[in-house]
């Protein structure tokens, strides 16, 4: 395979991981006469990886096609499956965060006006301005460009999910729980280089003009992922839906006996099915929501991923 300029990705990655651990432990032993069974951030020796191109570490993989539809458990592309998982693990960018970045940019506020928080329509306009290069990048702050890339990735994930609605039908709650439990710690590992080595990370699917970014992270975005833990089981929560944006699938609720509002998002493949119920139930004081609770580093509820709305009992 190496003669043909390819390697088995899993074998190569395991090799790279094993060599990295070996080198760190050897240096630990060389320096102190002992080494640690676990390699912490403090004990991680500064062994460097050289780039394939200046300033960029591009790891390209070629995934095998799915086996025949009649034999496969799930007829889906890797891009569709990754998008399905990311919708359930990665939080969406909030309007308040993007509003703050817009306010810090004079060129954009000249177009949109200066406000405390911008509406979804105004934010969409700002994203269109950046996409169509109506303002030079040199006149935009790095933060707003990063939010644009994050929003663009969110849209691409939604497009991937809408291509294959069979995933939601085939992957029941039990399978979903297993997938989230498996993928969450690995996503945290993916984000580790953003602590100090890199400024951003992307998962890109396709080649040439068909390339699409399914995930974009900068250091700030990655730190949230590293500090978050998603509950394996779905919780049934009695909550008051205070705010909801039907375009982005993002909103806020009052729940868990807390005074402050908790943000929530809805996976794109579920959004069409439950959005009508959410808009209807915003008129009610309380509604039952089925949700994964995402917790912060202190294990406190940080945000919700709502996957279902149930009828509120009348008595």
Domains of the chain (ranges, CATH numbers): 1-47 (no CATH), 95-154 (no CATH), 229-310 (2.40.50)
Q: Please state, as a whole number, how many other Cβ atoms lie within 10 Å of the Cβ of residue 119.
A: 13
Strands 229-230 and 287-295: antiparallel
pLDDT lower than 70: segments of the chain: 45, 66-70, 313-315
**Cα–Cα dist 262/284, whole Å:** 17
Which of 249, 74, 269 shows the shortest CA–CA distance to 160?
269
Would residue 55 be called left, alpha or beta, if left means φ above 0 and alpha means ψ between -120 and 50 degrees? left
Task: Output the six-digit token pair for 207.
Answer: 């080649």
The helix (run of H) or strand (run of E) holding residue 301 is: strand 301-310
Give the integer Cα–Cα distance in Å for 16 and 31: 22
Tell how strand 200-205 and strand 212-218 pair up.
antiparallel
Long-range contacts of 61-68 (CB under 8 A, 24+ apart): 61/9, 62/6
Give the model confidence (pLDDT) of 209-251 as tens digits: 889 999 999 999 898 888 888 898 999 999 999 989 888 888 9
Name the percent of the chain lying above pLDDT 90.
Answer: 36
Residue among 99, 131, 130, 93 nearest 117 (CA): 99
Q: What's residue 56's pLDDT?
A: 87
Report the DSSP beta bridge partners of residue 32. none
Where would I find the beta strands (DSSP E) of 158-299? 200-205, 212-218, 229-230, 235-245, 250-254, 262-265, 287-295
Question: Bridge partners of 294?
Answer: 230, 303
304-313 burial string, b = 16+ CB within 10 Å, else e? bbbbbbeeee
What pTM did the predictor assign? 0.84
């Amino acid at each position: 395979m190496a003669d043909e300029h390819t390697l088995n990705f899993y074998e190569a990655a395991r090799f790279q991981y094993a060599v990295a651990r070996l080198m760190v432990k050897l240096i630990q032993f060389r320096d102190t006469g002992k080494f640690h069974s676990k390699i912490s951030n403090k004990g991680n020796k500064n062994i460097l990886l050289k780039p394939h191109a200046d300033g960029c570490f591009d790891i390209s993989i070629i995934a095998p096609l799915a086996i025949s539809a009649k034999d496969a458990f799930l007829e889906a592309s890797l891009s569709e499956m990754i998008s399905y998982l990311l919708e359930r693990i990665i939080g969406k960018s909030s309007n308040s965060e993007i509003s703050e970045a817009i306010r810090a940019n004079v060129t954009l506020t000249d177009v949109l006006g200066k406000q405390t928080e911008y509406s979804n329509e105004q934010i969409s306009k700002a994203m269109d301005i950046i996409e169509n290069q109506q303002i030079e990048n040199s006149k935009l702050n790095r933060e707003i460009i990063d939010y644009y890339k994050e929003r663009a990735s969110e849209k691409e994930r939604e497009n991937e999910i809408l291509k294959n609605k069979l995933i939601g039908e085939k992957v029941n709650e039990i399978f979903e729980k297993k997938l989230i439990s498996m993928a969450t710690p690995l996503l945290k590992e993916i984000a580790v280089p953003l602590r100090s080595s890199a400024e951003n990370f992307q998962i890109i699917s396709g080649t040439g003009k068909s390339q699409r970014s399914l995930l974009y992270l900068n250091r700030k975005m990655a730190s949230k992922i590293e500090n978050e833990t998603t509950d394996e089981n779905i919780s049934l929560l009695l909550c008051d839906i205070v705010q909801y944006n039907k375009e982005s699938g993002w909103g806020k609720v009052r729940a868990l006996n807390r005074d402050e509002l908790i943000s929530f998002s809805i996976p794109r493949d579920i959004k069409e099915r439950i959005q009508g119920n959410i808009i209807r139930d915003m008129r009610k004081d309380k509604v039952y929501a089925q949700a994964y609770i995402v917790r912060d580093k202190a294990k406190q509820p940080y945000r919700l991923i709502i996957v279902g709305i149930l009828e509120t009992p009348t008595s």
